[in-house]
Amino acid sequence: MHLIKTPARPRTSISYHDNNGSSRCHSGRSLVSSVELDRLNTAATIYRPLSQSIIKYDVLNTPVENEWRMLNEKHCKRSISERNSARKLADEVIDIVKVIDHETKQRQLISTHSLGARISSLSYWKEKLNKEIVLMRNIMYELSVSGLTVKSFATSQMNLERHLESITCPLIISLKCLDERQKRIGIDAIRDKVENNLYKEIDTLKKCQRRLKDLSTKAEEQLKTSTTALEALERDVRNKTHAQKLDSEMYQLHNKVEKLNSSELIDNMTTAFSHPLSWAKHSYDNMQRSQKEREGCMKLCNRIKEQIKWCENEMWNHSNSVNVALKVRVQTLLIVRNNLQSHLQQVNTRIQEQEKVAEKIKEAIVDKEVPLQIAQTRLQERNKRIEMELCRDIVVELVAIREEVVMLKSKLQAVTRSIERLHKVQVKLEEEIRVKDTSLDIDGRICLSLRKNIQQDNCKLTYVPVLTVM
């Protein structure tokens, strides 16, 4: 009987590392060393009869002893690595859950606090809006009553005719003043404050004629715009009342409340009409609009109530404005004229001084001629030296004198140009002084004398206010 040696099949086992770091198999025993494995593999042989079938064994694909040992160690290391990664992941997930839970509670507290603040803001704005509604209704009622007064007053022209007669004399005087002021010359021929006030004084009567009808129309328009502002306030109050009710209910919600809405409804917030800033600005704009309309109503009511007084005093207000502006203009002209005269004197003085400076420069240039000739003569004669004696030792003097002469001539030209410019300024100042004298004659002598006639008896004025004297 013939026998054949067959290597023993290696025993399969799973090893792992215990807490002490030693490698152990699944049965709990320590793994054998490589020397012991070699001894066992050498001794472990199986003898089988030759007549029996030989077990097929793939020698090429069978792992060797080192590969078998490394494979087992690889499995153990991979097991340790995966268990460590799983433990780290579990710890990380626990920490994340704690953080998320804390942040969720904080956000819920912040949202609850925001709801409380929103409820307070709603109460604050509702109170302000309700006060504004009361004020708006009162002023609108007063304006509607005043509008009836305008219509009844428009049927009578007696007071208006009396004011039309009282403006005849001031109108003639104003036209005469405008005609005289057209004779101004030069830069003074401008449309200044005096002329603007004269045109306003002439237009006063036409404004009085249109005022009654215009105020009636403006009252109707003001009522419409005020009604629109009032409706906006009332609508804002209704919306805030509804929102306050809902927010109060939402403020009472907590985590133990049943029948909560699904979180999928958050998509509906994409159609929100406002954010906190625009929400407050909307109510603020409504308040501002209402206050503006209410202010317009108050101004219009005051204008309606003072219509007769306005017609009596308006022309005198313009007359006073013209007189004050005319006196200010005369005073300004005097100041400017005196200032120009002072500058003219200074310019004349400066011209004389500049001419003296020019003479000094000319004398200095003449004085440089002799030193220049001496320096040139020295250089010319000393050029006759021969060989090494021909030294350039006093050339600096000639160069310096020439540079000084050039500089003096340049300064002389600058002074001459300065004198020419001063003469031009002198001529311009003299011309401006003549212009100011003409304006003073027109405004100070002619116009002021004409304005004094407004208070004469032949003008038939019924009301003479005290004019402001500056």
DSSP 8-state code for residue 17: E
Tens of pLDDT, residues 327-358: 999 999 999 999 999 999 999 999 999 999 98
Q: Report the pLDDT value the prediction gives residue 257, as an integer from 0 to 100.
A: 63
Half-sphere exposure of 427 (CA within 13 A, CB side): 5
Are 432 and 290 a contacting pair, CB within 8 Å? no
Among residues 172, 142, 153, 294, which one has the least CA distance to residue 227?
A: 294
How many Å apart are CA 254 and CA 108, to the nearest integer? Answer: 9
Q: Which helix (H) or strand (E) holds 4?
A: strand 3-7
46-102: per-residue pLDDT in tens? Answer: 444 444 444 444 555 666 788 888 888 888 999 999 999 999 999 999 999 999 988
Q: Which residues of 18-38 are buried (b: 16+ CB within 10 A; e: fewer)?
A: eeeeeebbeeeeebeeeeebe
Give ∠ CA 359-362-366 in degrees, rounded to 5: 140
User: Which phi-psi region, left, alpha or beta, contains residue 366 (left: φ > 0; alpha: ψ -120 to 50)?
Assistant: alpha
Helices (H), 155-192: 158-166, 168-181
Going residue by residue through the chain, which has 470 residues, state the pLDDT in tens, using 9 for 90 and above.
343 344 444 444 444 444 444 444 443 444 444 544 454 444 444 444 444 444 444 555 666 788 888 888 888 999 999 999 999 999 999 999 999 988 888 887 888 788 788 788 888 888 888 888 888 888 877 766 554 444 433 333 343 345 446 666 777 888 899 999 999 998 888 888 899 988 888 887 677 667 766 776 777 788 888 888 889 888 988 888 888 888 787 777 766 666 566 555 555 555 557 777 888 888 888 888 888 888 888 887 777 777 767 767 887 788 888 899 999 999 999 999 999 999 999 999 999 999 999 899 888 888 888 787 777 777 777 677 666 666 666 667 778 888 888 898 898 899 999 999 999 999 999 999 999 999 999 999 899 988 887 754 444 433 333 233 23
**Residue 25 φ/ψ region, left for φ over 0, alpha for ψ in the -120 to 50 degree band, beta for the rest:** beta
Pair of tokens at residue 202: 């002439």
Cα separation, 163 vs 463, in Å, equals 10
Q: Half-sphere exposure of 37 toward its Cβ, with a 13 Å CA cutoff?
A: 15
Helix, strand, or coil (residue 185): coil
How far, in Å, CA of 283 to CA of 88, rounded? 54
